[in-house]
């Protein structure tokens, strides 16, 4: 005897798979639905000596023809002749779930069982559902379940068995629409009555789908009844929409939802739900005033954490590279090779690599905030600010991405609809300090300010402020209307340490990779330039000549020729600023390098250098990304603009600071 077929339908994430597994155990087969790459899961269960084939349909919110999943589910329900349909309904979101139920009922299916899952969670949320009353209101059996615990599965099997044997009579409730809409349904139904389509599909369902301009049903009408008939029906629908002033599908969907809303009052009530921790936290974290205070405090803690734990580790690494250089030096007889390896490679690359702990800890902190759900709150807070400064709210995502790396951040501006918005977002994105700039900021703040987290936070805030003001300026020239959108916030979720460490390692691995490639090559070049044609000190080395070329300009902001060489090499990769200083100071690293710089520069000069490095120009990869996403002119405009802003700010800070006696 052929197995009876049970179709398992429901919204995504309602526990359908859990129910499928609980019903079928290990007796499952996974394949694809014919012609599409949608997974088809089938399984078998036995009850009272009879075997049932369970077909797990793709999770859908409705049965329109907008997605392949919906189409697959709909076609199976229409043409697969299931003996029983189990519609899984999430008890914590009944209103949304019953929309699909109503669509199933409208298809004329009668052998439907509602598997009311997550009843335990609903109770916790204060949602009270009476399954008996629900069953009466819907006209089909309702089986309460807690599939995770396996509760209710045996009752469900029994109900399926009873329904398959015709022991349960059902009378599914059909959504009723306003008289005018019902009249339209009736009119279309009459047009289709007596045709071959009416024999194969429920007339009311066909009429509703046509009113909703369902592509697949329109194709059916065209194929079976011809173009003339379809045109006649669609003309009528067009006239109706003209009268109502909006699309019929929205009117029908809206009224179906209202019908469900009314229906749920018969069996569902809301007790006093406990306010969740997320709700309580959100009242502060997305508050227009407290939210920003909290955000400043959170990011202060991030920098405090990075510096407090990172600086000692950085010192250890730095010391290790120094000792390594000292150990290597006596083993190399050739002076040039020794200079290249010890001062150039070990000094240059080592000075950058020693910042790995800081970069790792920053990513650890940011990953924690991201997985926790806090970065989403930051996005929400900043969204309003962005709009005030002429940026589309959606641009907050690329800006946050920029904290990691500006290249993917520039590419993420593709998510903005308007070309003008994209250009503005791309223009200001390179101002956001990426992780490479963090190492330079950490180095200079560590050297000149004892690793004060407030100074680092001030530089980041300054960079954000410059980005916003630049957006305000640029958006005046490239204005555009923002298209509407909505942002949903996730629940707060305590991340697992394992995933945090893994994410942070994956993200900071790039830093190590870069040290072994771009920084290594850069260090070798800088070492060559500082030792040829004659060693530094005579003013004749290539590096000194290069530095002296830009020195008059940098003097305006209190910086010398060494800063000039460092900033030039920083264009390749920002970390080169540190490695260049290391090589220019004869391969010094760590504390020795800091001491040498402190004797040559004041804290004010250190601060100016940190600000200028953060803002002066995007790295080559970012310039390339801007060019790829826009054009050369825009990439050039960004570069020139950034150099101008960084110079003006550098000059301003230097002169104001000097006047204040700093």
Partner 1 sequence: MARWNGDGVVKMGKMEEVLRLINEGRRFPQEIAEELGTTVEEVEGIIELLKSLGYIEEIDQGPACETCPLRKVCYGKCLVPRVKVLKLSFGVDR
E-assigned strands of 344-459? none
The nearer residue to partner 1, 49 or 179, going by C-beta atoms, is 179
In whole angstroms, the minimum distance from the beta carbon of 237 to partner 1 comes to 13
CB of 342 to partner 1, least distance (A): 26
d(CA 262, CA 137): 11
Strand (E) or helix (H) holding 29:
strand 28-32
> Binding residue for partner 1 (CB under 8 A) from 122, 346, 401, 615?
401
Closest CA to 526 of 510, 544, 512, 513: 544
- Report DSSP state, residue 430: G
As a three-state string, the secondary structure of 539-579 is CCCHHHHHHHHHHHHHHCCCCCHHHHHHHHHHCCCCCHHHH
Contact map string, positions 333 to 372, toward partner 1, x by CB under 8 A: ---------------------------------xx--xx-
Q: In what order do the strands lie in the sheet with 28-32?
A: 28-32, 39-47, 50-56, 4-10, 84-90, 112-117, 142-144
- Min separation Cβ 284 and partner 1, Å: 14
H or E, element range at 352: helix 350-353
Q: Which whole-number Å values give the CA distances from 326 to 219, 316, 331, 341, 521, in the listed order?
A: 80, 15, 10, 11, 22
Nearer Cβ to partner 1, position 270 or 477?
Answer: 270
Residue (333 or 494) nearer to partner 1, CB? 494
Cβ proximity to partner 1, 152 vs 175, nearer residue: 175
By CB under 8 A, what part of segment 10-69 binds partner 1?
11, 60-62, 64, 66-67
Residues with Cβ within 8 Å of 126's Cβ and at least 6 positions away in sequence, in order, are 270, 271, 272, 273, 274
Site for partner 1 in 266-285 (CB under 8 A): 282
Rounded to 5 degrees, φ, ψ at 417 are -70, -45
- List 218, 222, 329, 411, residue binding partner 1 (CB under 8 A): 411
Question: In 563-587, which positions are buried (b, 16+ CB within 10 angstroms) versus exposed (e)?
Answer: bbbbbbbbbbbbbbbbbbbbbbbbb
Q: Output the smallest distance, CB 474 to partner 1, in A.
A: 22
Instruction: Establish if 373 lies at the interface with partner 1 (CB under 8 A).
Output: yes
For the segment 421-480, give every residue that binds partner 1 (CB under 8 A).
none
Is there binding between residue 247 and partner 1 (CB under 8 A)? yes
**Residue 436 burial (CB count, 10 A):** 27
Q: Which residues contact 614 (CB under 8 A, 6 or more apart)?
A: 433, 437, 440, 441, 459, 462, 463, 646
Q: With respect to partner 1, which residue has the nearer C-beta, 308 or 502? A: 502
Select 3 or 281, whichever has its Cβ closest to partner 1: 281
> Does 390 participate in binding partner 1 (rule CB under 8 A)?
no
Smaller CB separation from partner 1, 119 or 554: 119
Interaction residues for partner 1, span 80-99 (CB under 8 A):
92-93, 95-96, 99
Cβ–Cβ under 8 Å, residues 87 and 6: no
Q: How far is the CB of 539 from partner 1 (least distance, A)?
A: 37
Q: Is 186 in the site for partner 1 (CB under 8 A)?
A: no
Q: Is 379 in the site for partner 1 (CB under 8 A)?
A: yes
Q: Determine the interface stretch with partner 1 among 247-255, 301-309, 520-528, 564-572 (rule: CB under 8 A).
A: 247-255
Minimum distance from CB of 559 to partner 1 (Å)? 30
Tell which positions 491-550 bind partner 1, by CB under 8 A. 503, 506-510, 513-514, 517-518
Residue 403 found at the interface with partner 1 (CB under 8 A): yes
In whole angstroms, give the CA distance from residue 586 to residue 192. Answer: 89
DSSP annotation of 56: E
Least distance (Å) between residue 83 CB and partner 1: 27
Q: Is 210 in the site for partner 1 (CB under 8 A)?
A: no
Contact between 366 and 353 (Cβ < 8 Å): no
Q: Partners of 50 in the beta sheet?
A: 47
Q: Segment near partner 1 (CB under 8 A), from 75-83, 136-144, 485-493, 640-648?
A: 485-493
Task: Please report whether residue 245 would count as binding partner 1 according to CB under 8 A.
Answer: yes
Distance CA(424)–CA(630), nearest Å, equals 11
Tell me the closest approach of the beta carbon of residue 374 to partner 1, in angstroms: 9
Q: Does 418 bind partner 1 (CB under 8 A)?
A: no
> Residue 531 and residue 526: Cα distance in Å, rounded?
9
Cα 340 to Cα 329: distance, rounded to the nearest angstrom: 10
Q: Judged by CB under 8 A, which of 4, 16, 209, 394 binds partner 1?
A: 394
Told to check if 621 binds partner 1 by CB under 8 A, we report yes
489 contributes a contact to partner 1 by CB under 8 A: yes
Q: Which is nearer to partner 1, 163 or 623 (CB)?
A: 623
Among 39, 180, 182, 196, binds partner 1 (CB under 8 A): 180
Q: Is 391 in the site for partner 1 (CB under 8 A)?
A: no
């Amino acid at each position: 005897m052929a197995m009876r077929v049970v179709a398992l339908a429901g919204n995504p994430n309602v526990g359908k798979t859990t129910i499928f597994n609980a019903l079928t155990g290990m007796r499952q087969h996974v394949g694809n639905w014919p012609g599409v790459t949608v997974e088809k899961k089938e399984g078998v269960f036995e009850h009272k000596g009879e075997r049932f084939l369970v077909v797990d349909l793709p999770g859908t919110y409705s049965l329109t023809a907008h997605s392949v999943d919906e189409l697959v589910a709909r076609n199976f329900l229409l043409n697969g002749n299931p003996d029983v349909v189990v519609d899984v309904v999430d008890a914590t979101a009944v209103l949304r779930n019953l929309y699909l139920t109503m669509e199933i009922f409208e298809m004329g299916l009668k052998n439907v069982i509602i598997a009311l899952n997550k009843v335990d969670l609903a109770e916790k949320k204060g949602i009270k559902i009476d399954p008996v009353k629900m069953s009466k209101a819907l006209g089909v059996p309702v089986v309460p379940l807690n599939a995770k615990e396996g509760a209710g599965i045996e009752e469900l099997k029994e109900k399926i068995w009873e329904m398959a044997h015709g022991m349960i009579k059902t009378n599914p409730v059909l959504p009723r629409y306003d008289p005018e809409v019902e009249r339209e349904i009736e009119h279309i139904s009459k047009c289709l009555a007596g045709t071959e389509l009416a024999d194969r599909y429920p007339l009311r369902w066909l009429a509703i789908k046509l009113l909703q301009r369902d592509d697949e049903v329109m194709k059916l009408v065209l194929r079976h009844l011809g173009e003339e008939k379809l045109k006649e029906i669609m003309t009528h629908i067009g006239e109706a929409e003209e009268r109502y002033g909006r699309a019929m599908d929205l009117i029908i969907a809206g009224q179906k939802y209202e019908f469900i809303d009314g229906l749920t009052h018969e069996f569902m009530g809301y007790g006093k739900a406990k306010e969740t921790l997320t709700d309580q936290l959100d009242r502060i974290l997305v508050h227009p005033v407290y939210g920003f205070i909290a955000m400043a405090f959170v990011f202060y803690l991030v920098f405090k954490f990075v510096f407090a734990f990172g600086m000692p580790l950085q010192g250890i690494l730095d010391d290790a590279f120094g000792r390594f250089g000292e150990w290597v030096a006596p083993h190399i007889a050739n002076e040039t090779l020794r200079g290249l390896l010890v001062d150039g490679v070990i000094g240059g690359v080592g000075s950058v690599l020693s910042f790995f702990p800081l970069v790792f800890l920053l990513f650890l902190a940011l990953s924690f905030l991201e997985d926790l759900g806090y970065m989403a709150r930051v996005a929400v807070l900043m969204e309003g600010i962005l709009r005030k400064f002429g940026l589309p709210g959606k641009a907050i995502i690329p800006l946050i991405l920029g904290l990691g790396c500006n290249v993917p951040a520039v590419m993420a501006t593709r998510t903005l609809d308007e070309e003008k918005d994209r250009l503005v977002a791309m223009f200001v994105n390179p101002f956001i300090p990426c992780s490479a700039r963090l190492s330079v900021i950490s180095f200079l703040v560590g050297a000149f300010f004892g690793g004060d987290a407030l100074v680092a936070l001030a530089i980041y805030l300054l960079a954000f402020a410059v980005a916003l003001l630049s957006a305000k300026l640029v958006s005046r020239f490239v204005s555009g209307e923002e298209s509407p959108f909505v942002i949903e916030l996730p629940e707060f979720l305590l991340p697992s340490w394992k995933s945090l460490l893994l994410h942070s390692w994956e993200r900071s691995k790039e830093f190590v990779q870069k040290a072994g490639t771009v920084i290594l090559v850069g260090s070798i070049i800088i070492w060559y330039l500082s030792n040829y044609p004659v060693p530094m000190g005579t003013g004749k080395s290539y590096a000194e000549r290069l530095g002296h070329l830009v020195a008059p300009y940098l003097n305006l902001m209190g910086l010398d020729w060494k800063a000039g060489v460092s900033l030039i090499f920083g264009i390749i990769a920002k970390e080169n600023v540190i490695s260049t200083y290391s090589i220019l100071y004869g391969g010094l690293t760590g504390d020795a390098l800091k001491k040498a710089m402190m004797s040559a520069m004041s804290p004010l000069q250190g601060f100016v250098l940190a600000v200028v490095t953060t803002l002066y120009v995007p790295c080559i990869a970012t310039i390339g990304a801007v060019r790829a996403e826009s054009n050369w002119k825009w990439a050039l405009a960004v570069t020139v603009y950034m150099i101008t802003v960084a110079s003006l700010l550098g000059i301003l800070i230097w002169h104001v600071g000097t006047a204040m006696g700093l």
